[in-house]
Amino acid sequence: MDYDPNGGYQPPENRSFYDESYYPNGQYPLPPGKKFSPFIPHEVWQREKVNLRRYSMMAGCAILLYIVLSSVYVGLFQGVRFLIQNFFTSFYPTFAATVSSAEFEYLYETIYSVLIVGGPFFLIGWWAKKKGYSGAVPMGKPRHASLMPLIIPAAFGLCLLGNIVTAYLDTFFEMLTGIALRMPETAPTPHSFLGISLYFLSTAVVPALVEEMALRGVIMQPLRRYGDWFAILCSALIFGLMHCNLMQIPFAFLAGVVIGYAVIVTDSIWTGVIIHFLNNAFSVAVSIVSEFYGVESKEYMVCDVLFYVLIAIGVVCAFFYFRKAKQIRMQKSPLLNAGRDFIGQPHPYSARVSCGTLFKTYVLTVPMFAAFAAVIYETIMAVLLLAG
């Protein structure tokens, strides 16, 4: 049914809720050129609300499954390592030394990224594709190839800038609580060629591939029907929650926003993989320089200067990118109808859908709430451990 300004209701038609022809004598109640938001039938919104909640439950279940599998996997790994170190040392010393080495630790991290980090999301994505709920992951060549020399360094530099923002947030948290946050403990930096190769593989290559396919693929793509920025922010939120660490969550969220935007404007997941890889590879390089030369060395000072140079290059590239890419528009959801554009009494069967409504619908589901609670619990336990 369509709204009739004279008080009655017209038969349903395939026209906009606010159509100038609905008004007698051409008395359209808005200045020329100004248009109302489209009429969103209530039943359409109810159907999309079910779909949006389904996507939320998929993401929440993936996070919960990741947390459970991570705890089990880490527990099994630590248990097996303990047994080998205590009972196999006398009989198989070479095997025990191998299991205790940094090389084995980073091999474990590589398998962990594929099975434990990516596994739940790929499983959920496979199920969603089978049911027809998934979005197509853009695996082709990036669009706007001429802008790639600006997009890549801009996004990379802004990700590095996110480290500075996160450092200030950590300092502010320490001033409020007296607790100095630390990164989760990792294996020592290896010194052998094999160890460095596995370190690079487990930290830079595999996470870039797995996490981008999972977050900017499985999670973000189906949400684009509700608007590109909505999809970017929601996938960045999930990316932050995955890290389960108060020091890493803010950075992961900021990096998720930057990478998600780059993936959408280029319409290629490989853009995100490249940016993610560069960010992690730089971290690996700094760690290796620190281990081999020390934090007081000239080599480490070069890394420190390079860090700020890359940020400056990124900011400059971002400036020229946004000047050159004015024709690129982010997709908006046809569902959005903020209600403030209604004049008079709206149709009783119309839905007033805003960005806030979409976010509340996505966040307020049982699996997502449970995922938030689990991450908060893990974060509190880590903070209390630091405080103790």
pLDDT tens for each residue of 76-120: 877 777 777 676 666 666 666 666 777 888 888 898 889 999 999
pLDDT at 16: 41
Average pLDDT over residues 56-81: 85
Domains in the chain, number: 1
Query: Does residue 372 lie in a domain region?
Result: yes
Average pLDDT over residues 234-239: 93
The length of the chain is: 388
Q: Can you tell me the mean pLDDT for 147-167?
A: 92
pLDDT band at 147 (very low <50, low <70, confident <90, very high): confident
Mean per-residue pLDDT, 273-281: 96
pLDDT at 335: 72
Tell me what pLDDT residue 92 has: 64
Q: Examine residue 23 and state whether it is found in any structural domain, yes or no.
A: no
Using CA atoms, how far residue 95 sits from 38, 135, 147, 153, in Å, is: 68, 46, 51, 44
More confident residue, 337 or 59: 59
Residue 14 lies in a domain: no
Considering the domain boundaries, does residue 206 fall inside one? Answer: yes
Which whole number is the average pLDDT over 134-156?
Answer: 88
The per-residue pLDDT for 83 is 74
Summarize the confidence of residues 260-280 as an average pLDDT.
Answer: 95
pLDDT tops 50 at residue 23: no
Q: Which domain holds residue 293?
A: 37-387
Domain presence at residue 6:
no
Q: Classify residue 31: in a domain, yes or no.
A: no
What pTM value is reported for the model? 0.83
Q: Which string of DSSP letters, residue by residue, matches 250-312?
A: HHHHHHHHHHHHHHHHHT-HHHHHHHHHHHHHHHHHHHHHHHHH-TTSHHHHHHHHHHHHHHH
- For the ranges 271-280, 288-297, 310-319, which has the lowest average pLDDT? 288-297
Burial (CB < 10 A; 0-12, 13-18, 19+), residue 172, is exposed
Mean pLDDT of the chain: 80
Predicted confidence at residue 351, as pLDDT, reads 64
Instruction: Tell me, yes or no, whether 12 lies in a domain.
Output: no
Query: What is the per-residue pLDDT for 185?
Result: 67
Statement: residue 350 has pLDDT above 50: yes
Output the pLDDT for position 214: 93
- Give the pLDDT score at 265: 93
Inside any domain, residue 106: yes
Q: Of 355, 318, 330, 207, which Cα lies nearest the Cα of 273?
A: 207
pLDDT grade, residue 3 (50/70/90)? very low
Angle 383-384-388 from CA coordinates, rounded to 5°: 120
Give residue 82's pLDDT: 72
